[in-house]
Amino acid sequence: MKGLVGMESRLEAMDSLLCIGSLDVRMVGIWGMAGIGKTTIAKVIYERIYAQFEGCCFLSNVREESYKHGLPYLQMELLSQILKERNPNAGLFNKGINFMKDVLHSRKVLIILDDVDQRQQLEDLAGDNNWFGSGSRIIITTRDRHLLTCQEVDAIYEVKELDNDEALKLFCLYAFRHKHGTEDFRQLCGHALDYTSGLPLALKVLGSSLYTKGIHEWKSELDKLKQVPNKEVQNVLKTSFEGLDDNEQNIFLDIAFFYKGHDKDFVGDILDSCGFFFGIGIRNLEDKSLITISENKLCMHDLLQEMGWEIVRQKSEVPGELSRLRVHADINHVLTTNTGTEAVEAIFLDLSVSKS
């Protein structure tokens, strides 16, 4: 596979969780934010070990495919791959889950369920360990840790961002088609790494967009990103936000605008007083890989924060009609022209930043 950087340590961690040599049935989750590389890890593992099983199946994009075609379609696709035939025993398939279990329980299988986002998907496609024959392995990739907890998987591997050296190698693979850039581009590569913050998707997309471009074009593109976020990256990240309820969306946006880096309990008191259900909301945001909590501080990936800013900005071209304001020029315009509306819920003004 192209662009495999930083994979060795991740595969070692997964190998220790999968315990391929044991005869028990094991379910292992791969969990992390959108674009972090969960699917890539699953694909590499699949290619390495599939030959050790009597049947194997890689179901890609379960979230999207289940919405398009329904779960019965995915059940049939799973069995088709396991049995290596199209529409296996289609007449018997009306028996549904019982038929699935009849086919699977006596076979040692490898099944990858990629990008799961609903509990029902797991219930209909992976049931529990008793569905599968001795030695089977089921790997589930998801942005939602709670789904894995409810499924009672045997282990969860959390995918972290690439470190700086790994990020540079991956970026250069796409920007220069080799793992090392030229000296002329060293500083600009540093700016690109700062922007992408170790997210593989962003490194690949930005690197590809800069391939064969000159220094002046690099500078222009990196300057543009300060004002106009990359649409391809934003669209992938935004699907996580769209899966939240209204309460969770509001908490996410408030953290993105005002409370990143602040004490969790302090923020909880404020947002609870505003009518939000902070306790359950913050837990769900953490489970869905949209925030992390470190030393009781609220943390958020820079590109997720940027996504939050962009979601609000796109609501209107008129600053006074935006729910949250953080840009000095917008705040100044609203206050000096008295054009604020009831839509404005909060303003963040950093007085340490020069007005210029």
Mean pLDDT of 45-56: 96
Check residue 220 and report its DSSP letter: H
Domain span at residue 338 reads 315-356
Spatial separation of the C-alpha atoms in residues 316 and 248, rounded to whole Å: 21
Number of folded domains that form the chain? 4
Q: What is the pLDDT of residues 95-139, one digit of tens each?
A: 567 878 888 999 999 999 999 999 999 999 999 999 999 999 999
**Residue by residue, what is the 3-state secondary structure of 107-141?**
CCEEEEEEEECCHHHHHHHCCCHHHCCCCCEEEEE
pLDDT at position 339: 84
Q: What is the pLDDT of residues 240-299, one digit of tens each?
A: 999 999 999 999 999 999 999 999 999 999 999 999 999 999 999 999 999 999 999 999
User: How many angstroms separate the most distant Cα atoms in the chain?
Assistant: 73
Check residue 257 and report its DSSP letter: I
pLDDT at position 326: 82
Average pLDDT of the chain is 91
Share of the chain above pLDDT 70, in %: 94
Tallying the residues shown for the chain, one arrives at 356
Q: What is the pLDDT of residues 212-227, one digit of tens each?
A: 899 999 999 999 998 8
> H or E element: which one contains 301?
none
In a domain, 2, yes or no: no
In a domain, 234, yes or no: no
pLDDT band at 353 (very low <50, low <70, confident <90, very high): low
In a domain, 73, yes or no: yes
Phi first, then psi: give them for residue 84, nearest 5 degrees.
60, 45
Domain boundary among the residues 179, 196, 228 is at: 228
pLDDT band at 9 (very low <50, low <70, confident <90, very high): very high
CATH of the domain at 267: 1.10.10
pLDDT at position 180: 67
Phi first, then psi: give them for residue 237, nearest 5 degrees.
-65, -35
pLDDT at position 347: 84
Residues 12 and 154 in one domain: yes
Mean pLDDT of 29-35: 97
Q: Is the pLDDT of residue 86 over 80?
A: no
SS3 label, residue 276: coil
CATH of the domain at 70: 3.40.50.300
Q: Is the pLDDT of residue 355 over 70?
A: no
Residues 215 and 265 in one domain: no
Residues 22 and 154 in one domain: yes
pTM score, whole prediction = 0.90
Domain boundary among the residues 127, 158, 189 is at: 158
Residues 66 and 98 in one domain: yes
Residues 285 and 335 in one domain: no
Q: What's the one-letter identity of residue 169?
A: K
Mean pLDDT of 64-93: 82
Residues 63 and 171 in one domain: no
Residues 304 and 346 in one domain: no
